[in-house]
Amino acid sequence: MTAGIPRTVAVVGATGCVGRHVCDAFTRAGHDVVALARRAPAGPGRHPHRFLACDPAGLAPRDLADLFQDARVDTVVNAAGGWLNTEDDNRYHHVRLVERLLAGTALMARTPRLVQIGSVHEYGPVPAGDAVDESREPRPVTVYARTKHAGSQAVLRATRAGDADGVVLRAVNVCGPWVTPASFLGTVTRRLSEAAPGEPVELTLSDARRDFVDGRDLADAVLRAATRPVTGEIFNIGRGEALPIRSLVALLLDVAGLPPGTVKERLQEVASRGGDWTRVDTRRARRLLGWRPRIDLRTSLHDMWREALTGLPPATGSHGDGYRESAL
């Protein structure tokens, strides 16, 4: 894998928050992108990618291999998944999908690099104050974390066996443009943007402290993982800072130009999805990928708010969201 050689990248889950940023990162780096998702995105874009409407988890391995070979794919990024309601849904999107990607790519004449975007929640809850590194034994608790970990482990096992060329990124919470609507920040941003002027928004806030990374910085890490000799590695991707949730909301209000009284806090216990503390040690990513977060939280939240209000990508850089659809 040489960084300077143009490649064709298949991005699975291309219409989600992370997938859209990954598509843009590879396009800006001069690579061809084949975007895969079950449904085509709505709206025009400035930098269209070739789009294939399909569910890779539902394809036979041979059909998936033929799809990738016909498109001359030499890199596959799995950016699919999220917090789903049932165990069956989580297993389908986080385990079966990965197993199909591994089975399909193993049938190709040349095995492509597979970048699996995992989650910090694979580690399970960690003590407050810790910065978790890749040597920590994962102890996932939630069904989301367990199934994401199962997918990551499948990639690593296949790679050790010589059947895959895989890399796993364990990402913290994502912020920035196109933030996932179901996430905490996505929910807060939507409710603030929909509120009438002067109308307070009631929120239940926890005492949690969490690590956040802008989706564009995560996409940069994916690009580096796809183009460097790091087969079989695991990388934590985050800012390495545990930010209080209340401080994050206050910063969002500030960049949005809203007064502090806009949010009225409800006093009740919050059911956490992944522990009250997340912070990752990113020294391995810095050393082997040459990666570090470049977008500060103020800029990230500003761009997130702007996109929520206008539907437009950030003013700087090329962050289009359109696709050119083609039939299978």
> What CATH architecture applies to the domain 8-326?
3-Layer(aba) Sandwich (3.40)
Cα–chain-centroid distance for residue 310? 22
Active-site option among 92, 123, 144, 323 = 144
Q: Is 144 a catalytic residue?
A: yes
Residue ranges per domain, the chain?
8-326
Q: What is the pLDDT along the chain (328 residues), one digit of tens a residue?
A: 445 566 899 999 999 999 999 999 999 999 999 999 998 776 555 446 899 999 999 999 999 999 999 999 999 999 998 888 899 999 999 999 999 999 999 999 999 999 999 999 999 999 999 999 999 999 999 999 999 999 999 999 999 999 999 999 999 999 999 999 889 999 999 999 999 998 999 999 888 999 999 999 999 999 999 999 999 999 999 999 999 999 999 999 999 999 989 999 886 565 555 568 999 999 999 999 999 999 999 999 999 999 999 987 665 443 344 334 333 3
- Quickly count helices (H) and strands (E) in the chain: 10, 14
pLDDT, residue 311, reads: 84
pLDDT, residue 317, reads: 45
pLDDT, residue 85, reads: 85
pLDDT, residue 198, reads: 87
pLDDT, residue 328, reads: 31
With residue 155 as reference, give the H or E element that holds it: helix 143-160
Task: Output phi, psi for 166, to 5 deg.
Answer: -105, 155
pLDDT, residue 304, reads: 97
Q: What residue has token string 């993982």?
A: 225
Angle, helices 97-106 vs 61-70, to 10°: value is 60
Q: Cα–Cα–Cα angle for 51, 57, 61, nearest 5°? A: 95
In whole angstroms, give the CA distance from residue 142 to residue 136: 18
In whole angstroms, give the CA distance from residue 301 to residue 274: 22
pTM of the model: 0.92
Q: What residue has token string 């992944």?
A: 274
pLDDT, residue 162, reads: 98
CA atoms lying within 13 Å on the CB side of residue 313:
18
